[in-house]
A and B are shown apart, each in its own frame.
Chain A
Amino acid sequence: MSTRPTIVLLPGLLCDASIWEAQRATLAPHAEIRIADFSQLDSIDAMARSALGLADGPLIAIGHSMGARVAMEMVRLAPGRIEKLALIDTGVDSRRDGEAEKRQILIDLAFAEGMEALAERWLPPMLHEGRVGDQALLAPLKAMVMRATPEQHHRQIKALLNRPNVRPHLEAIACPTLVMVGRQDRWSPLAQHEEMASLIPNAELVVIEDSGHMSLLEQPEQVSRALLRFLGFEKDHSGADRAALGEVKPMGDDAVPDRIPDTPLFDRKRSLQGYRINKMAMGLGNPANREAFRENESAYLDRFGLTPEEKEAVMTRNWREMVRLGGNLFFILKISAVDPVRITEIGAHQAGMEHADFLRDRLGKK
């Protein structure tokens, strides 16, 4: 019998539990989840002590930005209790020159003009440059900042300005540690995380693609996937979980939809599964093979070791089935060079539509 581990999720500056929603949902089937609330605290030390008080016994600490600094402080305070550590979009050094002055401007802004004004100034540099106009991303972040108060902001900035330099303590972190960062994080850049991962003895680095500092919200699937794998939860999660994670549909498992609906990406699984069909079809680039295919299709297919299911799909020109079995259109299209059929007919077949309807409804032909 295994007991469920406890995970403590540690939010960053001005962030509340909402920032962790995707990860909470992903991890909940595997562990007890506690989400820390730092809104009333004004030191990293107090935050770490409060987080350690959220549960008894061993913990997995996962922190984002300021929350990751809290996680490192938790390891320092209670090294025996932290079993695994994940540090996301963060840093290890103490206050930089000029930092206090810059932060003071934002403190003053929040008191003078309110949290909405602060959100508008503070949020854009936190995001991937390409997404600063993305309202679907921005709206929940803005709402979250507006749930906080100028006083909370002030307290947390105080905690940040007085943060300890944890660089000297990194080599003492003994537990398995995941260091993770958005590739386009302008606030705490990739290079800083590479350095952290090199200083922590048992650390691995994961880069979240197409993400700024707010990776938890910018790329929730990538973050969740990395956490599941790091925590060893990946193998036993159900198909439904995988669908929620947006993983590409495993071949032959129609219950799990594609991440982009009805769009099979030619990934590792598909490439491996479709290798025989695609190799057979690639062979048709050679005139002698085309002749062999025309003369005795079954014998030609047997040369490539196709399974009965694959053979049946090819011989019945079942394009949808060939693709489902890992066939890639660019290869299997060569079958249409030997046994002519229009590409639009192949498209219509996969779409499950009559050819005329397909031309009209999908391609806009009159």
Chain B
Amino acid sequence: MAKLIGGLGTSHVPSISAALDKGLRDTPDWKPFFDGYIPGQDWVRENKPDVAVVIFNDHGNTFFLDKVPTFAVGCAEEYRPVDEGWGPRAIAPFKGAVDFSWHFIDTLVENRFDPMICQEIEVDHGLQVPMELFWGKPDAWPVKVVPIFVNVIQYPIPLPSRCYEMGRVLRRAIESYDSDERFVVVGTGGLSHQLQGARAGFVNPQADQAFLNDIAADPDRLAAMSREQYVEMFGSEGAELMMWLVMRGAMDPDVVVRHRHYFVPASMTGAGMIVLENRADAARAAAA
């Protein structure tokens, strides 16, 4: 059966890839941000996942307001970067884990999650940026992807607890998938930021640090919070943090934090990264 080897969390601010495209990686504004990801990249290199399930939201690039799926799952052969207004970026298209995607969709529906099913779809910075942060910018991606799109823009957005539950179903799908592939689940978005209204520019480093603590140690608290509390605490766009709960729900209750990084501000955002492993696996690895 397939194996879940880790849970990753990261921001997906578009300015990150713009900074890379413009060659700003080592400028004083960005260097500390990117350097903090080096341990995460090392972890990925050492652990060699075959499939990355990436939970993110579209930002008015792939979906317009005419049709807004609350949850959508990609089952395409390939996902190309979408033109966000600046022209499509020069990065390799992502290869889909088609067979697992369908198995996951089956498992979701059997467990009373009913996603939109997407056989042809493009992906925006919400998926691109996390992939680049952990895997760099290769000519061909060494990992296949399964995109999960969550609506966090058009209200009503889903409940945080629902995201958490979806993660548990994702775990079930991975463990019932007949394959020896190694999976990582990547929760993306946040941390605190607000782009709209007179409170634009709101960041909350203290709440961000507490989130990074609790996503490992007390995810139940984060899942029990209301949407409004997310907006209040992390800003209107910071509510995307609830997508990390899909990742966390897929992991064991007991995890170890392998790496963690926080930097503010990345553009207008409190940016963070975390690498989690199930404690049971970590203990086994240590014993071996």
> Which A residues contact B (CB, under 8 angstroms)?
128-131, 184, 209-210, 258-268, 271, 275, 278-279, 281-282, 284-287, 290, 320, 323, 328-331, 333-334, 336-338, 343-344, 346-348, 350-352, 358, 362-365
**Residues of chain B contacted by A209 (CB below 8 angstroms):** 159, 226
A260 with B231: CB separation less than 8 A: yes
- In whole angstroms, what is the CA distance A316 to B62 when docked? 27
**Residues of chain B contacted by A264 (CB below 8 angstroms):** 196-197, 236
Kindly state whether residue B65 has any CB partner on chain A within 8 Å: yes
Per-residue CB contact flags for chain B residues 12-28 toward chain A (1 = under 8 Å, else 0) read 00010000000000000
> Which B residues contact A (CB, under 8 angstroms)?
15, 59-61, 64-65, 82-87, 153-155, 159, 194-203, 205, 220-221, 224-226, 228-229, 231-232, 235-237, 264-265, 267-268
B64 with A282: CB separation less than 8 A: yes
B201 with A285: CB separation less than 8 A: no
3 tightest A-B CB contacts, nearest first: A130-B224, A337-B85, A362-B201
- In whole angstroms, what is the CA distance A361 to B250 when docked? 38
- In whole angstroms, what is the CA distance A360 to B61 when docked? 31
Which chain B residue shows the least CB distance to A281? B60
Which chain B residue shows the least CB distance to A279? B64
**Residues of chain B contacted by A338 (CB below 8 angstroms):** 85
B155 with A347: CB separation less than 8 A: no
Give min CB distance, B16 to chain A, whole Å: 12
B199 with A261: CB separation less than 8 A: yes
Knowing A337-B85, A364-B264 are in contact, say whether A210-B236 is a contact too (CB < 8 A): no
B224 with A323: CB separation less than 8 A: no
Which of B60, B198, B265 is close to A330, meaning CB atoms less than 8 Å apart? B60
Which chain B residue shows the least CB distance to A131? B224
Give min CB distance, A275 to chain B, whole Å: 6
- In whole angstroms, what is the CA distance A336 to B226 when docked? 33
Which of B85, B199, B221 is close to A351, meaning CB atoms less than 8 Å apart? B199
- In whole angstroms, what is the CA distance A320 to B197 when docked? 7
**Residues of chain B contacted by A262 (CB below 8 angstroms):** 197-199
**Residues of chain A contacted by B159 (CB below 8 angstroms):** 209
Knowing A260-B232, A330-B60 are in contact, say whether A337-B195 is a contact too (CB < 8 A): no
B226 with A210: CB separation less than 8 A: yes
B199 with A263: CB separation less than 8 A: yes
- In whole angstroms, what is the CA distance A205 to B71 when docked? 25
B65 with A363: CB separation less than 8 A: no
Knowing A328-B153, A343-B15 are in contact, say whether A363-B199 is a contact too (CB < 8 A): no
B196 with A365: CB separation less than 8 A: no
- Pick from A259, A347, A352 the residue with the most CB of B within 10 Å: A347
B83 with A351: CB separation less than 8 A: no
A285 with B65: CB separation less than 8 A: no
- In whole angstroms, what is the CA distance A267 to B151 when docked? 12
Give min CB distance, B190 to chain A, whole Å: 15
- In whole angstroms, what is the CA distance A329 to B195 when docked? 7
A275 with B65: CB separation less than 8 A: yes
- Pick from B65, B82, B83 the residue with the most CB of A within 10 Å: B65
Give min CB distance, A292 to chain B, whole Å: 14
A363 with B194: CB separation less than 8 A: no
A330 with B153: CB separation less than 8 A: yes
Which chain A residue shows the least CB distance to B122? A285
Could you write out 23 A-B pairs with CB less than 8 Å apart?
A129-B220, A130-B225, A210-B224, A210-B225, A210-B229, A263-B231, A266-B154, A278-B65, A279-B64, A281-B60, A285-B61, A330-B59, A330-B61, A330-B153, A333-B85, A336-B85, A337-B85, A338-B85, A346-B195, A347-B201, A348-B200, A350-B196, A351-B200
B268 with A344: CB separation less than 8 A: yes
- Pick from A131, A260, A333 the residue with the most CB of B within 10 Å: A260
- In whole angstroms, what is the CA distance A284 to B86 when docked? 9
Besides the known contacts A333-B85, A348-B200, A351-B198, 11 further A-B residue pairs in the complex with CB atoms under 8 A apart: A130-B225, A210-B226, A260-B199, A266-B154, A281-B60, A287-B87, A320-B198, A329-B237, A334-B85, A350-B200, A365-B265
**Residues of chain B contacted by A130 (CB below 8 angstroms):** 220-221, 224-225
**Residues of chain A contacted by B153 (CB below 8 angstroms):** 266, 328, 330
Which of B60, B201, B235 is close to A328, meaning CB atoms less than 8 Å apart? B60
Give min CB distance, A214 to chain B, whole Å: 15
B83 with A285: CB separation less than 8 A: yes
Knowing A263-B231, A264-B236, A351-B201 are in contact, say whether A128-B224 is a contact too (CB < 8 A): yes
**Residues of chain A contacted by B228 (CB below 8 angstroms):** 259-260
Which of A210, A258, A362 is close to B197, meaning CB atoms less than 8 Å apart? A258
- In whole angstroms, what is the CA distance A289 to B12 when docked? 27
